[in-house]
Amino acid sequence: MRIYPRRGVCLTEKADENQETNSSQQRRRQVGALASNGGQNCLGEEEAGPFPGEKSRQALAGGKGDNQATYGGKLAYPTYFLGHVGGDAHGKLIVEALESGGVCVDHLSVLGNVHTGHVVVMLQSDRQNSIIIVGEANMCNWPQSLLDEHLELLRSFGIVLLQREIPDSFNIQVAKA
């Protein structure tokens, strides 16, 4: 299964129970695996200034699933992320952010024919915001049913985190695994 970020699943391997470790590593072994099924988005933030036409923009990698996976990776958990990104610059930004956060992207898919999902956060000068969500790759190409090898892989992990930013039918299959 190769799935890329922007709403996906983040998985963490079970640690070897026979290995001698410090208390922090021992706690990680007890937890076993981390799986996050959620969003990885290119977050576009647009801030309106006090004058008409004044604004600033920036693009960031993020999303609930992406952030959960990155935190797991930074805590030195062997962490994997399953999901989709588009074959665009925003998809590359997300993959690079996951990799730099210590997340294995072997189970992520780049969908060349769609754009990476994104969120636009519009901030007003009074710090109020409006959020626009565009699903794109997050909602595309999810299997109707998981293969046995994928079910076995999911069962090998100790924690599965699900986000409702991908089709519910896929989340239900993952939860049943």
- Write down the CATH superfamily of domain 8-41+61-115+136-176: Ribokinase (3.40.1190.20)
Q: Give residue-wise pLDDT tens across range 113-149.
A: 999 988 888 878 788 888 888 889 888 888 888 878 7
Tokens of 58: 């920036």
Q: What is the dihedral of CA 87, 89, 95, 96, to 10 degrees?
A: 150
Q: H helices of the chain, where?
A: 23-31, 64-74, 89-100, 148-155, 168-176
pTM of the model: 0.70
d(CA 159, CA 177): 12
Q: Give residue-wise pLDDT tens across range 54-83.
A: 666 777 887 778 888 888 889 888 888 888
d(CA 108, CA 92): 12
